[in-house]
Structures are given as structure tokens and as C-alpha cells.
Amino acid sequence: MKVFKTALISTFIIAQLCIALPAFADGSTTPGTTQGDNTQQKSQNPTQNSTNDGSAVTPETETENNQQPGGTVDPTNPTNPTNPTNPTSPTNPTGEVTPDPDVQSVKTNDQLVLMMNSNKMYRNGQEVLALQPLTVTKGISYIALRSIAEQAGFIVKYDAVTKETILKSGQQEVRFKTNSAAYTINGKSYKASGNAYQQKDVFMVPLTSITKALNIPYSVDNVAKKITLNLYSAPTANFTVSPAEIFAEQTSVTYKDQSSDPRGLEIVQHRWEGNENIFMEPGTHTITHWVMNANGVWSEPYSVTIEVKPKNLPPVAMFTTDKDSYKMGELITFTDESTDDEGQITKTEWLNKSIGFFEPGEKTITLRVTDRLGQVGEYQKTITITNETMYLHDDFFKLYTPVGEKFTLQKNNILDLAKAPFSSTDSQQTLLRSNSPESLSTEGIVFRDTIQGEARFLVHHKNISNQNLKVYVVVTNPGTMPTNVTVKDVGFAGPNEYESLTGKSSVERYFKSLNSGSLGQTTTLQPGETKVIFSELSAQAMKPGHVVSLMGDVSSDSEVTYQVAAVASNKDILKTLPSLTLLNRDNIHIRGTYENANRLIELNQVVGDKPSRISLADNNDDLYLNGIDNTNGMPSINMGNYGVMYTIRLNHVAPNTLIAFNPRGGIYKGIFVVNGQMTEAPSNGTLVNSNDASVVYRTGSAEETVTILFTPVSGSNLPVSMLFLPLAQQPQS
């Protein structure tokens, strides 16, 4: 009967150990990798395993309990210099120090076997004793922390301030605390399957927690009643190669080491093969890297194969001219014949190039080309300018400046030109202009109005605050029935620091949208609902000093309230909007609602038969729109007529006429649509001076009708003039 009871008790203990070990998806208890704390049972600190005062036992106390009967030193102590099973011992004749991975094999297995319901452990076949047996408490398997940690090469310390037991190996630090299921790995918190506790003054932790913390794979043998831990820990070699594109004899190659050790040990030695700083031969090259950790263990080799391209040749600069000798004011035709071995010339620079010269003598022109890798080729040619004259300066550039490019008139007599009479007719289009305050120093609402039907938005703002801002257009349905809001054509640019370029780009994209015939996007608003429209505007934050500009068409079935607001980029506009206050106008720029914002300018008499001009947005010949700022009920004048869409209809343009654009108020960078074709003003650079002009159109040998779409762009200055200049006749040879 006594034998039967003993067998029954043994069977119960084994069953408890099996229950305590984690189960896996396939029903087995033998994981292929390190396991986490899978047991979710609640565990309390057993009172029979605590010290009398309930305090944690310090490492010194555990060291005293580290003595075996007869006063011999516990073989689990890694500081024992005579321990033959310790792979990190400096006197260990079989340690993992591998000075040359080519001639000495690397050990890949270091096993510690734990016997269930016993304090016996076997390190590579040699018996060592744990401070306490592998124990099952509340269905959870517990192990003496120091016994397993020191076998794995960790230093164990106690922090009296935080009352934590600390395991340290290289850069890795693990912390456990008595009576707590929480533990940390390098400061990151985890939860164990049960509370750590003291058992006969020995610190006990869940087996699955310590193996996870120390990155120790293990397997379970229920038949042999043992758990096998693989203590072998090798570093992992890893590196990256840059740049991605490497050319023989030219590219300086950088290798960035990204090797690591699973237990935080220092990488103390590197071995490389094939890691040349500059590869002299094109083709396939393999670079291989090994690393060794502080325990003398080498990694497996890690290799990267790269393709080294043949040496990159610089581009060859070359151009020709149609002749070698020219009269003053004679057109010079340049043909760029530069080449590159990859066909990727990324930059072309001309020095002293002009399509015509007006002083006699030799002129040396230089062409410099750069490929995508920064290599440069250069070519020079010298031509001769004779004493003969074909065209005078202004006549020449009016005749030959390409459409969209600018030229400068030597004779600045534009205001002396006769004004061509025209008629002006306005048609209905509501304009909503949000530009004051233009510069935003804080969050707030910068525009608000309630309207119904078709409208055109013009939004232009700059961030001068000390934070990133986003500008939003939001629409609210104040009615009691659902309504539809449709966004039609839209052009947006920014955010960036260039005001005139941003304004010009937004109008250019608006014209492209008009030309594409966009069907628009319709949003349904329920009563009281608010939504964001023109999402392009608020997609990206404005950094301090940056500008955004938008021109877009919208319509609604019934009355809706539009608001333009600026908020910090990290805030939710719909949540923030109710708390925003209205910002005051800056008394320089414009805010308001304007009716009849489409204007037809029509010229019925012949233009171009003699020099003439018309002036636009000067509030004299072409009047500003009057409107109202409905945010405060104050009248508002749209100075500059920004946002007004002009249709300029020239019904009779004489043969051989230059139509040019001339700034009168300062810097201008704009866009036109001429007979359906988009034209920049100018395509390169900016119109700055009052005698600058950009070529808009030239008529041929017969009279023509020309229609021009134009709207003043935000960030540029008004007024402007449209010039109609007869072209010089071909001189007699």
C-alpha cells in the first residue's frame, strides 16, 4: 500500500510538471525556437516560500546558499576557474575562441539538461546542481534564476534601491522583482506567467519567462522527464553596402556593420573578405563578413553579392552653329549634339550663348554638360560677328525670342504706346478670396461666408509662425435637409518658399484641370454636418516660411457655409474648428466675396498694324471688383482683380504681329491660354523690370483672331500690360 501511494504521488508530480510546460499549436511540448510566457494562470507568492519578513533575498544571501554539503563550491557558479563546462572561462581548453574560421570549426551546441522535480542539471553531460529543484507552483514551472542565468553566462546582481534582481550580459539587461509578474528586457516591460518569489532564500522565476528573457531555446522530453536548454549563443554577422550603384575604378564603397549578439555581448573581432574600398574590375563581387563576440564565439559567414559596373565615362559636350560668321542682329541657330554613354545628361549650361549679337568681333560660346553621376564634359566654339547689321536689338528679339521666353527692350517707351480701345463685360461668377491676413502667425479662421451655387475659391497664405500649420477649406450644411457640394476644377501648389512660383503653378494646374474636363467630386452633407473639401490644400503641412496657393471651383445645391482655417499640423481640424477665432485682416491683402468675377475684354479694331497696348487690373482702364467681407460685414475691394477670369478676345490681329506681356507693378510670373494652348510668362526666370516682356503669340502672314484666357496669379504684382507690336520686315540682301 505504501509503495502504491509513493507511485501515485510521483505520477501526480510528473503530471503537474507536464501541465506547467507550455503547449504548442501542434499539441506538442517541443518548440523549435525560444518560447515566451504562454501560461496565463494567475499566480501568487506562496507564503511557505517567503522569508519571514517577506523581503527579497539579496545576491549575497543566495551566494551563501550556493554552498554544497561538505563545503564544496557549486559547479553552476561561472566564476569558478576550474569549471570545465563553462565555455566563457578564460582557462577553458575547449572554449569558443576561433581565431580563423577557415581552419577551426565552430561549436554549435551547448546543452543544459534540467531534470523534472530535481535540482540536478547536466551541462554537456556533466552534472551540476541547481540551487532549488525545478518546481511546479500553481501549475507553473519555476526555476532558480541564478542557476540558469549564470550557466548562460549572465552576471547576477541585486539593486537594493529598486529591489530588483538584475541579469547583465554585454549590452543586454534583464530585471525581475520578487512578488511581481512584471520583468524588463533592456527597459521594455513584459509580463511573466506567474509572480517571481523566494523559495528557501532562492529567487524563483517561471521557466518560460527566464528562457525568453535570456533568449534560450529549449525542448521538452516528457518520457525522459527532462527539459533541454541550448545555451549556445553565436553572434550574427550583417552589413550593408553603399552606394547602391558602384562603378569600377571610381566609386568609393562604404560597408556599414549591423552585426549583433542575441545576448548583448560585445562584438570584439571582425573578419572580412572581398571588401574593397574601390573595385578595380567590373563584374560580380562577393563580400563576406564574420564576427566574434566577447565569449570567443564566431558567427556564421554573411555574404553580399554586388554588381560592379564598368567605369562611367564623362559626357561629351558638343554643339554646332549653322554658320561660323554672322552679321550683327542675325539669328544664330545652335544644335546641341552632346552625348553620354548612359544617355543621361542631367544638366546643360551655356556660357555667352545668345541667339544674336550686336557688337562685332569674335564670340566664344561654351557648353557644359553634366551626367547623373556628376561627371562633366565641356566644349567651346568661337564665331565671328562682322560689322554689318541685319536687325537692330529690339527688332531682332521681338522677331526671334521663342514663345514663352522673355526679352528686354533697350528702348523703354511702353507707356508712350497708344492705348487700344476695348469693351469690358462682366458675367456672373462668385469669387471667394482668402488672402488676408496673408501671413499666418497663429491658428485661426481666415475666411467665412454662406452662399449657394457656383463659386471660385482663391486661397493664398504664408506661414510665419514658429510651428507647422495646415490650411483647410471646410464646408458646413446649416440647413435642415441634406445638400450636395461638388468640387470641380482645381489647381494647387505648395507648400514651398517661392511665392510667385507657387501662385503661377496653382493657376497652371487649374487651367490644366479646366482643359481635362474633370467631372468633379460630389460630397453629401447631412444637416449640421461639416466636411473638408479641397483636400490637396491640407494634405501637407506648411513649414515656417512656406506658402500654399489654391484656385478651385465648387458648387452647392443649397446654402452652405465655407470657412478657411489654419491649425497646427498635429490637430484635428473638425475637432478644433469650433474653438478657433476669426483673424483680423492685415489691411494690405484681400479677403472677401465678389460677384461677376468673369470678365470679357474685347477688341474689335485691328491691332498690331502699329505699336499699341492695353492695361489690365489698373483700376483705371480696367476697374477692380467691389465686394464684401462677410466675416465682418465690411466692404472689400479686390485690388489687382486676383481670381478674376479674363477672356481677351482680339478679333482682328494684323499679320506679323507680336503679342507680348509686360509687367507694370513689379515681379510677375504667370500663365496664359492662347487659342487653347498654354503659354508661360515667362517659362524661365521672372519678369522683373518695366521693360521686360514675355512672348505670348505671333501671327503669321495673314490677319488672325486670337483668344487669350488670363487670370492674375497670387504672389505676383499688378497692373500689367498686353503689347501689340508689328514685327520688322526681312531686310533686303
pLDDT tens profile 195-216: 999 999 999 999 999 998 888 8
Check pLDDT > 70 for residue 374: yes
pLDDT in tens, 698-712: 999 999 999 999 999
Query: What is the chain's mean pLDDT, rounded?
Result: 85
Check pLDDT > 50 for residue 25: no
Check pLDDT > 90 for residue 169: no
Distances (CA, A) of 45 to 41, 181, 182, 204, 579: 13, 10, 13, 10, 53
Which among 711, 440, 468, 428 is positioned nearest to 564, based on CA atoms? 440
Decide: 331 and 355 in contact? Cβ < 8 Å: yes
Phi and psi angles of residue 9, each rounded to the nearest 5 degrees, phi first: -65, -45
Phi and psi angles of residue 608, each rounded to the nearest 5 degrees, phi first: 95, -10
Mean pLDDT of 399-414: 93
Q: Are strands 469-476 and 547-568 parallel, antiparallel or unpaired?
A: antiparallel
Q: Could you tell me the pLDDT band of residue 519, with boundaries at 50, 70 and 90?
A: low
**Confidence at residue 416, expressed as pLDDT on a 0 to 100 scale:** 94
pLDDT in tens, 316-330: 999 999 999 999 999
Collapsed DSSP state (helix, strand, coil) of residue 431: strand
Domains of the chain: 2-230 (no CATH), 239-309 (2.60.40), 319-390 (2.60.40.10), 414-426+598-726 (2.60.120), 430-594 (no CATH)
HSE toward the beta carbon, residue 25, CA cutoff 13 A: 2
Collapsed DSSP state (helix, strand, coil) of residue 234: coil
Q: Could you tell me the pLDDT band of residue 406, with boundaries at 50, 70 and 90?
A: very high
Decide: 391 and 565 in contact? Cβ < 8 Å: no
Q: Are strands 226-230 and 218-221 parallel, antiparallel or unpaired?
A: antiparallel
**Confidence at residue 33, expressed as pLDDT on a 0 to 100 scale:** 35
**Confidence at residue 237, expressed as pLDDT on a 0 to 100 scale:** 96
**Confidence at residue 108, expressed as pLDDT on a 0 to 100 scale:** 60
Portion of the chain with pLDDT greater than 90, in percent: 73
Decide: 436 and 588 in contact? Cβ < 8 Å: yes
User: What's the CA gap between 731 and 327, in Å, rounded?
Assistant: 12
Q: Extract the C-alpha cell encoding 113.
A: 539538461
Q: Extract the C-alpha cell encoding 126.
A: 556533466
pLDDT in tens, 211-237: 988 888 899 998 989 999 988 888 999
User: For the chain, what is the radius of gyration of the CA atoms?
Assistant: 41
Mean pLDDT of 275-295: 94
Q: Is the N-terminal amide bond of 682 cis, ω within 30° of 0?
A: yes
**Confidence at residue 105, expressed as pLDDT on a 0 to 100 scale:** 41
The predicted model scores a pTM of 0.67
E strand or H helix at 210, and its extent?
helix 207-213
Q: Could you tell me the pLDDT band of residue 36, with boundaries at 50, 70 and 90?
A: very low
Mean pLDDT of 637-657: 97
Residue 624: DSSP 8-state:
P
According to DSSP, the residues that pair with 454 across neighbouring strands are 555
pLDDT in tens, 178-191: 999 999 998 999 99
| CA–CA–CA angle 264, 270, 276 (5° rounding) | 135
**Confidence at residue 110, expressed as pLDDT on a 0 to 100 scale:** 83
Check pLDDT > 50 for residue 495: yes
**Confidence at residue 711, expressed as pLDDT on a 0 to 100 scale:** 97
**Confidence at residue 732, expressed as pLDDT on a 0 to 100 scale:** 55
**Confidence at residue 729, expressed as pLDDT on a 0 to 100 scale:** 86
Helices within 115-206 (DSSP H only) = 145-151
- Better pLDDT: 83 or 722: 722
Check pLDDT > 70 for residue 460: yes
Check pLDDT > 70 for residue 550: yes
Which among 25, 51, 20 is positioned nearest to 37, based on CA atoms? 20
pLDDT in tens, 661-692: 999 999 999 999 999 999 999 998 899 999 99
HSE toward the beta carbon, residue 24, CA cutoff 13 A: 14
